[in-house]
Amino acid sequence: MSKEIADKICLVILAAGQGTRMKVSTPKPLIPIMNRPMLDYVLDTCLDFRRHKVKNALISLVVGHQSEVMKAYVDQHYHSENLHITMQQKQLGTADAVKSFLAQCPDVMSYKYIFILSGDVPMVSLEHLEKIYSEISSRHLKAVVATVITENPTGYGRIQLHSTGLSIVEEKDADAEVKKITSINTGLYVFETKYLKDCIEKISNNNKSHEFYLTDTFQSGREVGAVHFDHGEDLLGINTLEQLEQTSKRINRRNLLKLSAQGVRFWDFASTFIEPSVAIASGSVIYPNVIIEGQTKIAAGCSVGPFCHLKNVELAEDVQVKSHSMLEGCKIASRAEVGPFARLRPGADIGSKAKVGNFVEIKKSTIGPGAKVSHLSYVGDAIVGDNTNIGCGFITCNYDGVEKHVTKIGKNCFIGSDTQTIAPVEIGDNCFVASGSTINTPMPDGSFGISRGRQTTHLNMAKRFLKVKDKDKHKDA
Ligand code: UD1
Ligand code: CA
Protein backbone atom coordinates (compact mmCIF):
# COMPACT_ATOMS: atom_id res chain seq x y z
CA MET A 1 0.00 0.00 0.00
CA SER A 2 1.28 3.50 -0.82
CA LYS A 3 2.19 5.93 1.93
CA GLU A 4 -0.06 8.05 4.09
CA ILE A 5 -1.68 11.18 2.67
CA ALA A 6 -0.84 14.48 4.37
CA ASP A 7 -3.84 16.52 3.10
CA LYS A 8 -6.88 17.11 5.30
CA ILE A 9 -9.73 15.09 3.84
CA CYS A 10 -13.47 14.40 4.30
CA LEU A 11 -15.28 11.32 3.09
CA VAL A 12 -18.99 11.97 2.54
CA ILE A 13 -21.37 9.04 2.01
CA LEU A 14 -24.64 9.99 0.34
CA ALA A 15 -27.37 7.84 1.86
CA ALA A 16 -30.44 10.05 2.18
CA GLY A 17 -32.32 8.83 -0.88
CA GLN A 18 -35.46 6.74 -0.72
CA GLY A 19 -34.28 3.80 -2.81
CA THR A 20 -37.71 3.54 -4.45
CA ARG A 21 -36.54 1.03 -7.05
CA MET A 22 -35.74 -1.56 -4.33
CA LYS A 23 -39.50 -1.86 -3.52
CA VAL A 24 -38.84 -2.66 0.15
CA SER A 25 -39.49 -0.53 3.21
CA THR A 26 -36.01 -0.85 4.80
CA PRO A 27 -33.84 2.17 3.99
CA LYS A 28 -31.67 1.10 1.05
CA PRO A 29 -28.27 1.43 2.79
CA LEU A 30 -29.52 -0.93 5.52
CA ILE A 31 -30.62 -3.70 3.16
CA PRO A 32 -28.22 -6.58 3.80
CA ILE A 33 -25.77 -8.24 1.46
CA MET A 34 -25.53 -11.66 3.06
CA ASN A 35 -26.07 -10.60 6.69
CA ARG A 36 -24.55 -7.10 6.74
CA PRO A 37 -26.22 -3.91 5.57
CA MET A 38 -24.65 -2.63 2.35
CA LEU A 39 -23.72 0.54 4.23
CA ASP A 40 -21.32 -1.52 6.39
CA TYR A 41 -19.24 -2.44 3.36
CA VAL A 42 -18.89 1.25 2.42
CA LEU A 43 -18.07 2.20 6.01
CA ASP A 44 -15.45 -0.58 6.21
CA THR A 45 -13.62 1.04 3.30
CA CYS A 46 -13.94 4.56 4.78
CA LEU A 47 -12.69 3.39 8.17
CA ASP A 48 -9.77 1.55 6.50
CA PHE A 49 -8.94 4.75 4.65
CA ARG A 50 -8.86 6.63 7.94
CA ARG A 51 -6.77 3.92 9.58
CA HIS A 52 -4.20 3.58 6.81
CA LYS A 53 -4.21 6.69 4.64
CA VAL A 54 -5.45 9.86 6.34
CA LYS A 55 -5.42 9.95 10.11
CA ASN A 56 -8.39 11.95 11.42
CA ALA A 57 -10.19 12.02 8.07
CA LEU A 58 -13.76 13.16 8.70
CA ILE A 59 -16.39 10.61 7.69
CA SER A 60 -19.88 12.04 7.23
CA LEU A 61 -23.04 10.12 6.46
CA VAL A 62 -25.80 12.09 4.76
CA VAL A 63 -29.19 10.85 5.97
CA GLY A 64 -32.73 11.98 5.16
CA HIS A 65 -35.26 9.30 4.22
CA GLN A 66 -36.01 7.34 7.45
CA SER A 67 -33.20 9.28 9.09
CA GLU A 68 -34.18 8.13 12.59
CA VAL A 69 -33.69 4.48 11.60
CA MET A 70 -30.38 5.30 9.94
CA LYS A 71 -29.12 7.32 12.91
CA ALA A 72 -30.14 4.61 15.38
CA TYR A 73 -28.27 2.01 13.33
CA VAL A 74 -25.08 4.07 13.20
CA ASP A 75 -25.35 4.88 16.89
CA GLN A 76 -25.73 1.23 17.80
CA HIS A 77 -23.03 -0.22 15.54
CA TYR A 78 -20.50 2.58 15.02
CA HIS A 79 -20.73 4.45 18.29
CA SER A 80 -17.00 4.44 18.94
CA GLU A 81 -16.05 5.48 15.40
CA ASN A 82 -16.95 9.14 15.78
CA LEU A 83 -18.88 9.45 12.52
CA HIS A 84 -20.33 12.80 11.50
CA ILE A 85 -23.99 12.83 10.50
CA THR A 86 -25.40 15.28 7.97
CA MET A 87 -29.15 15.78 7.86
CA GLN A 88 -30.68 16.47 4.45
CA GLN A 89 -34.19 17.75 5.13
CA LYS A 90 -35.69 17.07 1.70
CA GLN A 91 -34.26 14.75 -0.92
CA LEU A 92 -33.86 17.34 -3.66
CA GLY A 93 -30.97 15.58 -5.39
CA THR A 94 -27.32 14.65 -4.95
CA ALA A 95 -26.09 18.27 -5.19
CA ASP A 96 -28.51 19.27 -2.45
CA ALA A 97 -27.22 16.39 -0.29
CA VAL A 98 -23.67 17.71 -0.68
CA LYS A 99 -24.88 21.25 -0.02
CA SER A 100 -26.36 20.07 3.28
CA PHE A 101 -23.03 18.54 4.20
CA LEU A 102 -21.10 21.72 3.38
CA ALA A 103 -23.50 23.72 5.54
CA GLN A 104 -23.36 21.35 8.50
CA CYS A 105 -19.69 20.39 8.56
CA PRO A 106 -17.77 22.47 11.09
CA ASP A 107 -14.76 24.23 9.59
CA VAL A 108 -15.36 22.64 6.19
CA MET A 109 -13.00 24.99 4.32
CA SER A 110 -10.06 23.63 6.29
CA TYR A 111 -10.32 20.35 4.35
CA LYS A 112 -8.44 20.32 1.08
CA TYR A 113 -10.37 17.55 -0.63
CA ILE A 114 -13.84 16.03 -0.27
CA PHE A 115 -14.54 12.50 -1.47
CA ILE A 116 -18.15 11.68 -2.32
CA LEU A 117 -19.27 8.06 -2.05
CA SER A 118 -22.70 6.46 -2.32
CA GLY A 119 -24.35 4.26 0.27
CA ASP A 120 -25.39 1.96 -2.58
CA VAL A 121 -21.92 1.13 -3.97
CA PRO A 122 -20.70 -1.45 -1.44
CA MET A 123 -17.68 -2.76 -3.36
CA VAL A 124 -15.85 0.58 -3.31
CA SER A 125 -12.30 -0.17 -2.10
CA LEU A 126 -9.24 1.58 -0.74
CA GLU A 127 -7.60 1.20 -4.16
CA HIS A 128 -10.47 3.11 -5.82
CA LEU A 129 -10.09 5.99 -3.33
CA GLU A 130 -6.30 6.03 -3.70
CA LYS A 131 -6.44 6.13 -7.47
CA ILE A 132 -8.84 9.09 -7.76
CA TYR A 133 -6.87 10.93 -5.07
CA SER A 134 -3.62 10.45 -6.93
CA GLU A 135 -5.27 11.76 -10.14
CA ILE A 136 -6.64 14.95 -8.56
CA SER A 137 -3.49 15.73 -6.60
CA SER A 138 -0.88 14.92 -9.25
CA ARG A 139 -2.71 16.74 -12.08
CA HIS A 140 -3.92 19.61 -9.87
CA LEU A 141 -7.52 19.17 -10.98
CA LYS A 142 -10.66 20.55 -9.33
CA ALA A 143 -12.69 17.35 -9.52
CA VAL A 144 -12.23 13.72 -10.58
CA VAL A 145 -14.97 11.17 -11.22
CA ALA A 146 -14.53 7.38 -11.22
CA THR A 147 -15.91 5.86 -14.40
CA VAL A 148 -16.49 2.38 -15.76
CA ILE A 149 -17.64 0.91 -19.05
CA THR A 150 -20.75 -1.22 -18.93
CA GLU A 151 -22.67 -3.13 -21.59
CA ASN A 152 -25.94 -1.87 -20.18
CA PRO A 153 -25.57 1.80 -19.22
CA THR A 154 -29.31 2.35 -18.75
CA GLY A 155 -30.05 4.42 -15.67
CA TYR A 156 -26.55 5.79 -15.20
CA GLY A 157 -25.08 9.22 -15.98
CA ARG A 158 -23.01 9.12 -19.20
CA ILE A 159 -19.50 10.51 -19.49
CA GLN A 160 -19.46 12.80 -22.51
CA LEU A 161 -15.99 13.75 -23.72
CA HIS A 162 -15.36 17.18 -25.24
CA SER A 163 -12.28 18.75 -26.81
CA THR A 164 -11.97 20.64 -23.53
CA GLY A 165 -12.66 18.14 -20.77
CA LEU A 166 -15.81 16.21 -20.00
CA SER A 167 -19.36 16.54 -18.77
CA ILE A 168 -21.85 14.11 -17.20
CA VAL A 169 -25.30 13.76 -18.73
CA GLU A 170 -28.06 12.06 -16.73
CA GLU A 171 -30.09 9.33 -18.42
CA LYS A 172 -33.31 11.36 -18.33
CA ASP A 173 -31.67 14.34 -20.00
CA ALA A 174 -29.69 12.37 -22.58
CA ASP A 175 -30.55 12.35 -26.28
CA ALA A 176 -30.34 9.16 -28.36
CA GLU A 177 -26.66 9.74 -29.22
CA VAL A 178 -25.59 10.32 -25.62
CA LYS A 179 -27.59 7.29 -24.48
CA LYS A 180 -25.31 5.12 -26.64
CA ILE A 181 -22.27 6.09 -24.54
CA THR A 182 -21.19 3.12 -22.42
CA SER A 183 -18.76 5.01 -20.18
CA ILE A 184 -20.74 5.86 -17.05
CA ASN A 185 -20.50 7.82 -13.81
CA THR A 186 -20.09 5.53 -10.80
CA GLY A 187 -21.08 8.25 -8.31
CA LEU A 188 -17.60 8.15 -6.71
CA TYR A 189 -15.76 11.47 -6.88
CA VAL A 190 -13.11 13.61 -5.26
CA PHE A 191 -13.41 17.43 -5.27
CA GLU A 192 -11.26 20.30 -4.20
CA THR A 193 -13.37 21.77 -1.39
CA LYS A 194 -13.33 25.34 -2.67
CA TYR A 195 -14.37 24.31 -6.19
CA LEU A 196 -17.18 22.14 -4.83
CA LYS A 197 -18.54 24.93 -2.65
CA ASP A 198 -18.43 27.50 -5.48
CA CYS A 199 -20.18 25.15 -7.96
CA ILE A 200 -22.85 23.86 -5.60
CA GLU A 201 -24.23 27.35 -5.01
CA LYS A 202 -24.81 27.76 -8.75
CA ILE A 203 -26.42 24.40 -9.61
CA SER A 204 -30.07 24.66 -10.65
CA ASN A 205 -32.78 22.04 -10.90
CA ASN A 206 -33.62 23.02 -14.43
CA ASN A 207 -33.71 19.45 -15.79
CA LYS A 208 -36.18 16.65 -16.51
CA SER A 209 -36.17 15.35 -12.89
CA HIS A 210 -36.25 18.81 -11.27
CA GLU A 211 -33.44 17.60 -9.04
CA PHE A 212 -30.19 19.30 -8.11
CA TYR A 213 -27.56 17.14 -9.82
CA LEU A 214 -24.09 16.85 -8.34
CA THR A 215 -23.04 15.75 -11.81
CA ASP A 216 -23.51 19.36 -13.04
CA THR A 217 -20.15 20.10 -11.42
CA PHE A 218 -18.62 18.35 -14.44
CA GLN A 219 -18.82 20.67 -17.46
CA SER A 220 -16.63 21.07 -20.51
CA GLY A 221 -14.01 23.74 -20.15
CA ARG A 222 -13.45 23.06 -16.46
CA GLU A 223 -10.37 21.50 -14.89
CA VAL A 224 -12.06 18.21 -14.19
CA GLY A 225 -10.99 14.66 -15.04
CA ALA A 226 -12.01 11.02 -14.94
CA VAL A 227 -10.31 7.83 -13.82
CA HIS A 228 -11.44 4.73 -15.62
CA PHE A 229 -11.64 1.44 -13.70
CA ASP A 230 -11.64 -2.09 -15.15
CA HIS A 231 -13.89 -4.69 -13.52
CA GLY A 232 -16.60 -2.06 -13.73
CA GLU A 233 -19.30 -4.14 -12.07
CA ASP A 234 -17.59 -3.56 -8.72
CA LEU A 235 -18.50 0.10 -8.85
CA LEU A 236 -22.04 -0.11 -10.20
CA GLY A 237 -24.61 1.31 -7.80
CA ILE A 238 -27.33 -1.01 -6.54
CA ASN A 239 -30.78 0.26 -7.45
CA THR A 240 -32.79 -2.97 -7.63
CA LEU A 241 -32.92 -6.26 -5.74
CA GLU A 242 -31.64 -7.98 -8.87
CA GLN A 243 -28.51 -5.81 -8.80
CA LEU A 244 -28.21 -6.56 -5.07
CA GLU A 245 -28.15 -10.29 -5.82
CA GLN A 246 -25.45 -9.78 -8.46
CA THR A 247 -23.30 -7.68 -6.13
CA SER A 248 -23.78 -10.18 -3.33
CA LYS A 249 -22.38 -12.89 -5.60
CA ARG A 250 -19.41 -10.69 -6.52
CA ILE A 251 -18.62 -9.95 -2.87
CA ASN A 252 -18.89 -13.67 -2.10
CA ARG A 253 -16.61 -14.59 -4.97
CA ARG A 254 -14.05 -11.95 -3.95
CA ASN A 255 -14.02 -13.54 -0.48
CA LEU A 256 -13.76 -17.13 -1.79
CA LEU A 257 -10.85 -16.13 -4.04
CA LYS A 258 -9.09 -14.68 -1.01
CA LEU A 259 -9.65 -17.85 1.04
CA SER A 260 -8.58 -20.14 -1.78
CA ALA A 261 -5.40 -18.10 -2.23
CA GLN A 262 -4.72 -18.86 1.44
CA GLY A 263 -5.06 -22.62 0.86
CA VAL A 264 -8.75 -23.39 1.43
CA ARG A 265 -10.00 -25.81 -1.24
CA PHE A 266 -13.49 -25.37 -2.69
CA TRP A 267 -15.27 -27.76 -5.03
CA ASP A 268 -17.54 -25.07 -6.41
CA PHE A 269 -17.38 -21.31 -5.92
CA ALA A 270 -20.79 -20.82 -7.50
CA SER A 271 -22.78 -22.73 -4.88
CA THR A 272 -20.72 -21.81 -1.81
CA PHE A 273 -21.59 -18.76 0.28
CA ILE A 274 -19.20 -17.65 2.99
CA GLU A 275 -19.46 -14.36 4.82
CA PRO A 276 -16.30 -12.22 4.92
CA SER A 277 -16.39 -12.50 8.74
CA VAL A 278 -15.63 -16.26 8.60
CA ALA A 279 -12.04 -17.51 9.12
CA ILE A 280 -10.92 -20.80 7.53
CA ALA A 281 -7.39 -22.18 7.87
CA SER A 282 -5.45 -23.64 4.97
CA GLY A 283 -5.88 -27.33 4.21
CA SER A 284 -9.61 -27.36 4.85
CA VAL A 285 -12.01 -28.39 2.12
CA ILE A 286 -15.52 -27.12 1.49
CA TYR A 287 -17.92 -29.15 -0.67
CA PRO A 288 -20.66 -27.64 -2.90
CA ASN A 289 -23.88 -26.04 -1.60
CA VAL A 290 -22.48 -24.86 1.70
CA ILE A 291 -23.37 -21.67 3.62
CA ILE A 292 -21.06 -20.47 6.38
CA GLU A 293 -22.00 -17.37 8.35
CA GLY A 294 -21.13 -15.11 11.27
CA GLN A 295 -18.13 -15.50 13.53
CA THR A 296 -17.32 -19.01 12.38
CA LYS A 297 -13.73 -20.24 12.77
CA ILE A 298 -12.57 -23.37 11.00
CA ALA A 299 -9.10 -24.73 11.80
CA ALA A 300 -6.81 -26.60 9.43
CA GLY A 301 -7.66 -29.95 7.91
CA CYS A 302 -11.45 -29.79 8.36
CA SER A 303 -13.98 -30.83 5.78
CA VAL A 304 -17.50 -29.45 5.46
CA GLY A 305 -19.66 -31.75 3.34
CA PRO A 306 -22.32 -30.83 0.79
CA PHE A 307 -25.49 -28.95 1.85
CA CYS A 308 -24.17 -27.94 5.28
CA HIS A 309 -25.08 -24.68 6.99
CA LEU A 310 -22.78 -23.33 9.71
CA LYS A 311 -23.32 -20.18 11.76
CA ASN A 312 -21.10 -18.95 14.61
CA VAL A 313 -19.34 -22.29 14.89
CA GLU A 314 -15.82 -23.22 16.00
CA LEU A 315 -14.24 -26.27 14.42
CA ALA A 316 -10.84 -27.40 15.74
CA GLU A 317 -8.31 -29.26 13.54
CA ASP A 318 -9.40 -32.17 11.36
CA VAL A 319 -13.12 -32.06 12.17
CA GLN A 320 -15.40 -33.68 9.62
CA VAL A 321 -18.86 -32.26 9.14
CA LYS A 322 -20.75 -34.56 6.81
CA SER A 323 -23.51 -33.60 4.39
CA HIS A 324 -26.82 -31.88 5.27
CA SER A 325 -25.82 -30.78 8.77
CA MET A 326 -27.00 -27.55 10.40
CA LEU A 327 -24.64 -26.22 13.08
CA GLU A 328 -25.19 -23.04 15.06
CA GLY A 329 -23.43 -21.49 18.06
CA CYS A 330 -21.44 -24.62 18.88
CA LYS A 331 -17.87 -25.86 19.33
CA ILE A 332 -16.38 -29.05 17.96
CA ALA A 333 -12.99 -30.31 19.15
CA SER A 334 -10.33 -31.88 16.97
CA ARG A 335 -10.99 -35.03 14.93
CA ALA A 336 -14.66 -35.22 15.91
CA GLU A 337 -17.20 -36.31 13.27
CA VAL A 338 -20.62 -34.79 12.85
CA GLY A 339 -23.45 -35.77 10.49
CA PRO A 340 -24.74 -36.55 7.97
CA PHE A 341 -28.05 -34.84 8.86
CA ALA A 342 -26.93 -33.61 12.29
CA ARG A 343 -28.39 -30.58 14.01
CA LEU A 344 -26.16 -28.88 16.56
CA ARG A 345 -27.87 -26.01 18.35
CA PRO A 346 -26.38 -23.24 20.49
CA GLY A 347 -24.29 -24.48 23.40
CA ALA A 348 -23.43 -27.87 21.89
CA ASP A 349 -19.82 -28.63 22.82
CA ILE A 350 -18.49 -31.75 21.13
CA GLY A 351 -15.26 -33.32 22.47
CA SER A 352 -12.33 -34.51 20.43
CA LYS A 353 -12.82 -37.73 18.45
CA ALA A 354 -16.48 -37.77 19.51
CA LYS A 355 -19.09 -38.81 16.98
CA VAL A 356 -22.52 -37.31 16.39
CA GLY A 357 -24.35 -39.24 13.72
CA ASN A 358 -27.43 -38.91 11.53
CA PHE A 359 -30.69 -37.37 12.73
CA VAL A 360 -29.19 -36.35 16.05
CA GLU A 361 -30.10 -33.01 17.66
CA ILE A 362 -27.87 -31.63 20.39
CA LYS A 363 -28.60 -28.46 22.37
CA LYS A 364 -26.67 -26.84 25.23
CA SER A 365 -24.85 -30.06 26.01
CA THR A 366 -21.30 -31.28 26.42
CA ILE A 367 -20.40 -34.51 24.69
CA GLY A 368 -17.10 -35.80 26.13
CA PRO A 369 -14.06 -36.82 24.11
CA GLY A 370 -14.57 -40.11 22.29
CA ALA A 371 -18.28 -40.32 23.18
CA LYS A 372 -20.76 -41.41 20.51
CA VAL A 373 -24.36 -40.44 19.79
CA SER A 374 -24.70 -42.14 16.47
CA HIS A 375 -28.36 -42.27 15.46
CA LEU A 376 -31.76 -40.58 15.87
CA SER A 377 -31.41 -38.93 19.28
CA TYR A 378 -32.18 -35.72 21.15
CA VAL A 379 -29.65 -34.55 23.73
CA GLY A 380 -30.55 -31.28 25.49
CA ASP A 381 -29.14 -29.71 28.68
CA ALA A 382 -26.91 -32.73 29.21
CA ILE A 383 -23.37 -33.59 30.14
CA VAL A 384 -22.13 -36.84 28.61
CA GLY A 385 -18.79 -38.23 29.86
CA ASP A 386 -15.77 -39.44 27.89
CA ASN A 387 -16.12 -42.55 25.74
CA THR A 388 -19.78 -43.14 26.63
CA ASN A 389 -21.79 -44.82 23.89
CA ILE A 390 -25.37 -43.73 23.42
CA GLY A 391 -27.47 -46.10 21.33
CA CYS A 392 -30.10 -45.33 18.72
CA GLY A 393 -33.24 -43.38 19.59
CA PHE A 394 -32.11 -41.88 22.91
CA ILE A 395 -34.00 -38.88 24.35
CA THR A 396 -33.23 -36.55 27.24
CA CYS A 397 -36.67 -35.51 28.51
CA ASN A 398 -35.35 -32.15 29.66
CA TYR A 399 -38.53 -30.05 29.73
CA ASP A 400 -41.40 -30.37 32.19
CA GLY A 401 -43.56 -27.81 30.40
CA VAL A 402 -42.19 -24.94 32.46
CA GLU A 403 -38.49 -25.43 33.09
CA LYS A 404 -35.50 -27.19 31.53
CA HIS A 405 -33.54 -29.70 33.65
CA VAL A 406 -30.10 -31.24 33.40
CA THR A 407 -29.16 -34.87 32.63
CA LYS A 408 -25.69 -36.08 33.64
CA ILE A 409 -24.20 -39.25 32.23
CA GLY A 410 -20.71 -40.31 33.38
CA LYS A 411 -17.72 -41.78 31.57
CA ASN A 412 -17.51 -45.13 29.78
CA CYS A 413 -21.25 -45.85 29.99
CA PHE A 414 -23.35 -47.90 27.60
CA ILE A 415 -26.82 -46.46 27.11
CA GLY A 416 -29.03 -48.95 25.26
CA SER A 417 -31.19 -47.94 22.33
CA ASP A 418 -34.62 -46.38 22.86
CA THR A 419 -33.79 -45.06 26.30
CA GLN A 420 -35.18 -41.89 27.86
CA THR A 421 -33.74 -40.01 30.80
CA ILE A 422 -36.23 -37.89 32.74
CA ALA A 423 -34.30 -34.87 33.95
CA PRO A 424 -33.08 -33.92 36.42
CA VAL A 425 -31.28 -37.24 36.72
CA GLU A 426 -27.72 -38.45 37.04
CA ILE A 427 -26.09 -41.64 35.77
CA GLY A 428 -22.60 -42.35 37.19
CA ASP A 429 -19.44 -43.63 35.46
CA ASN A 430 -19.20 -47.14 33.97
CA CYS A 431 -22.98 -47.71 34.02
CA PHE A 432 -25.07 -49.91 31.71
CA VAL A 433 -28.64 -48.97 30.83
CA ALA A 434 -30.68 -51.68 29.14
CA SER A 435 -32.54 -50.89 25.91
CA GLY A 436 -36.00 -49.42 26.16
CA SER A 437 -35.52 -48.06 29.67
CA THR A 438 -36.95 -44.89 31.15
CA ILE A 439 -34.44 -43.64 33.71
CA ASN A 440 -35.81 -41.22 36.30
CA THR A 441 -33.80 -42.13 39.42
CA PRO A 442 -30.05 -41.69 39.93
CA MET A 443 -27.72 -44.55 39.01
CA PRO A 444 -24.49 -44.83 41.04
CA ASP A 445 -21.12 -45.60 39.39
CA GLY A 446 -20.91 -49.09 37.95
CA SER A 447 -24.64 -49.84 38.22
CA PHE A 448 -26.97 -51.58 35.74
CA GLY A 449 -30.36 -50.00 35.09
CA ILE A 450 -33.40 -51.53 33.44
CA SER A 451 -37.00 -50.32 33.45
CA ARG A 452 -39.45 -51.94 31.09
CA GLY A 453 -42.38 -54.37 31.23
CA ARG A 454 -41.32 -58.03 31.32
CA GLN A 455 -42.14 -59.80 28.04
CA THR A 456 -44.84 -62.50 27.98
CA THR A 457 -45.54 -64.60 24.87
CA HIS A 458 -48.91 -66.41 24.31
CA LEU A 459 -48.95 -69.09 21.61
CA ASN A 460 -51.56 -68.82 18.79
CA MET A 461 -53.10 -65.68 20.26
CA ALA A 462 -52.10 -63.24 17.55
CA LYS A 463 -55.18 -63.86 15.42
CA ARG A 464 -57.35 -62.24 18.10
CA PHE A 465 -55.57 -59.00 17.45
CA LEU A 466 -54.69 -59.14 13.77
CA LYS A 467 -57.33 -57.21 11.88
CA VAL A 468 -58.16 -58.38 8.35
CA LYS A 469 -59.65 -56.07 5.73
CA ASP A 470 -63.20 -57.09 4.53
CA LYS A 471 -62.20 -57.65 0.90
CA ASP A 472 -59.39 -60.02 1.94
CA LYS A 473 -61.47 -62.09 4.44
CA HIS A 474 -62.60 -64.90 2.05
CA LYS A 475 -59.21 -65.07 0.29
CA ASP A 476 -57.36 -66.28 3.36
CA ALA A 477 -60.23 -68.11 5.11
C1 UD1 B 1 -26.45 8.93 -9.54
C2 UD1 B 1 -25.78 9.89 -10.53
C3 UD1 B 1 -25.52 9.15 -11.83
C4 UD1 B 1 -24.66 7.94 -11.57
C5 UD1 B 1 -25.30 7.05 -10.49
C6 UD1 B 1 -24.31 5.97 -10.09
C7 UD1 B 1 -26.66 12.11 -10.00
C8 UD1 B 1 -27.57 13.21 -10.41
N9 UD1 B 1 -26.64 11.03 -10.76
O10 UD1 B 1 -27.69 8.55 -10.12
O11 UD1 B 1 -24.85 10.01 -12.76
O12 UD1 B 1 -24.47 7.22 -12.77
O13 UD1 B 1 -25.61 7.81 -9.31
O14 UD1 B 1 -24.90 5.05 -9.23
O15 UD1 B 1 -25.95 12.25 -9.01
N16 UD1 B 1 -29.03 10.79 -2.42
C17 UD1 B 1 -29.11 11.63 -1.34
N18 UD1 B 1 -29.97 12.69 -1.40
C19 UD1 B 1 -30.73 12.96 -2.48
C20 UD1 B 1 -30.64 12.09 -3.60
C21 UD1 B 1 -29.77 11.01 -3.52
O22 UD1 B 1 -28.44 11.43 -0.32
O23 UD1 B 1 -31.47 13.94 -2.45
C24 UD1 B 1 -28.11 9.64 -2.34
C25 UD1 B 1 -28.80 8.30 -2.50
O26 UD1 B 1 -29.20 7.80 -1.24
C27 UD1 B 1 -27.73 7.43 -3.13
C28 UD1 B 1 -26.87 8.44 -3.91
O29 UD1 B 1 -27.18 9.71 -3.39
O30 UD1 B 1 -26.90 6.81 -2.18
C31 UD1 B 1 -27.19 8.40 -5.40
O32 UD1 B 1 -28.57 8.71 -5.56
P33 UD1 B 1 -29.49 7.93 -6.59
O34 UD1 B 1 -30.85 8.48 -6.51
O35 UD1 B 1 -29.31 6.49 -6.41
O36 UD1 B 1 -28.83 8.44 -7.94
P37 UD1 B 1 -28.86 7.73 -9.33
O38 UD1 B 1 -30.12 8.01 -10.01
O39 UD1 B 1 -28.46 6.32 -9.18
CA1 CA C 1 -27.99 4.86 -7.37
pLDDT of residue 66: 96
The pLDDT mean for the chain works out to 96
d(CA 207, ligand 2 centre) in Å: 18
What CATH number should be reported for the domain holding residue 181? 3.90.550.10
Are 90 and 232 in a shared domain?
yes
Per the structure, the count of domains in the chain is: 2
- Which tens digit of pLDDT belongs to each residue from 72-92? 999 999 999 999 999 999 999
Are 78 and 219 in a shared domain?
yes
Residues with CB under 5 A from ligand 2 (ion): 120, 237, 239
Tell me which residue of 77, 72, 45, 71 sits closest to 59, measured CA to CA.
45
The residue whose CA has the least distance to atom 3 of ligand 1 is 157
Kindly state whether residue 55 falls inside one of the protein's structural domains: yes
CB 95 less than 6 A from any atom of ligand 1:
no
Are 89 and 231 in a shared domain?
yes
pLDDT of residue 406: 98
3-state secondary structure string across 418-462? CCEEECCEEECCCCEECCCCEECCCECCCCEECCCCCCCCCCCCH
CB 118 less than 6 A from any atom of ligand 1:
yes
Closest-lying ligand 1 atom to the alpha carbon of residue 211: 8
Rounded Cα distance between 415 and 427, Å, is 10
Q: Which helix (H) or strand (E) holds 62?
A: strand 58-63
CB 237 less than 6 A from any atom of ligand 1:
yes
> Of the ligands numbered here, which is closest to the C-alpha atom of 213?
1
d(CA 237, ligand 2 centre) in Å: 5
CB 205 less than 6 A from any atom of ligand 1:
no
Mean pLDDT, residues 230-252 taken together: 93
d(CA 156, ligand 2 centre) in Å: 8
Rounded Cα distance between 290 and 231, Å, is 27
Please answer whether residues 315 and 292 qualify as being in contact, where contact means their C-beta atoms are separated by less than 8 angstroms: no
> Of the ligands numbered here, which is closest to the C-alpha atom of 17?
1
Q: What percent of the chain has pLDDT over 70?
A: 99
- Secondary structure (3-state) at 167: strand
User: What is the pTM for the complete model shown?
Assistant: 0.91
Active-site choice (65, 375, 405, 474) = 375
Pick the last residue of a domain from 180, 205, 239: 239
pLDDT of residue 476: 54
d(CA 132, ligand 2 centre) in Å: 20
Lowest mean pLDDT among 44-48, 150-154, 201-205, 472-476: 472-476
Pick the last residue of a domain from 239, 268, 302: 239
Kindly state whether residue 472 falls inside one of the protein's structural domains: no
d(CA 186, ligand 1 centre) in Å: 9
Mean pLDDT, residues 33-61 taken together: 97
Are 193 and 48 in a shared domain?
yes
d(CA 35, ligand 2 centre) in Å: 21
Kindly state whether residue 340 falls inside one of the protein's structural domains: no
Pick the last residue of a domain from 239, 264, 288: 239
Mutate which of 20, 63, 90, 94 for ligand 1? The one with the most ligand atoms within 8 Å of its CB, which is 94
| pLDDT exceeds 90 at position 59 | yes
Are 368 and 231 in a shared domain?
no
- Which tens digit of pLDDT belongs to each residue from 361-373? 999 999 999 999 9
pLDDT of residue 1: 58
Instruction: pLDDT band for 171, please (50, 70, 90 cuts).
Output: very high
Kindly state whether residue 382 falls inside one of the protein's structural domains: yes
CB 212 less than 6 A from any atom of ligand 1:
no
CB 189 less than 6 A from any atom of ligand 1:
no
Kindly state whether residue 277 falls inside one of the protein's structural domains: no
Q: Residue 403 is part of which domain span? A: 364-456
pLDDT of residue 469: 74
* Active-site residue, 375 included: yes
Residues forming beta bridges with residue 184, ordered by sequence position: 148, 158
pLDDT of residue 473: 65
Mean pLDDT, residues 127-140 taken together: 97
Kindly state whether residue 295 falls inside one of the protein's structural domains: no
CB 157 less than 6 A from any atom of ligand 1:
yes
Mean pLDDT, residues 410-422 taken together: 98
Mean pLDDT, residues 249-269 taken together: 98
Kindly state whether residue 394 falls inside one of the protein's structural domains: yes
What CATH number should be reported for the domain holding residue 385? 2.160.10.10
Mean pLDDT, residues 286-310 taken together: 98
Residues 6+ apart with CB under 8 A from 202: none
pLDDT of residue 475: 61
Kindly state whether residue 392 falls inside one of the protein's structural domains: yes
Mean pLDDT, residues 309-322 taken together: 98
The 8-class DSSP code of residue 351 comes to P
| pLDDT exceeds 90 at position 467 | no
Half-sphere exposure of 163 (CA within 13 A, CB side): 0
| pLDDT exceeds 80 at position 319 | yes
Are 235 and 374 in a shared domain?
no
Instruction: pLDDT band for 19, please (50, 70, 90 cuts).
Output: confident
pLDDT of residue 400: 95
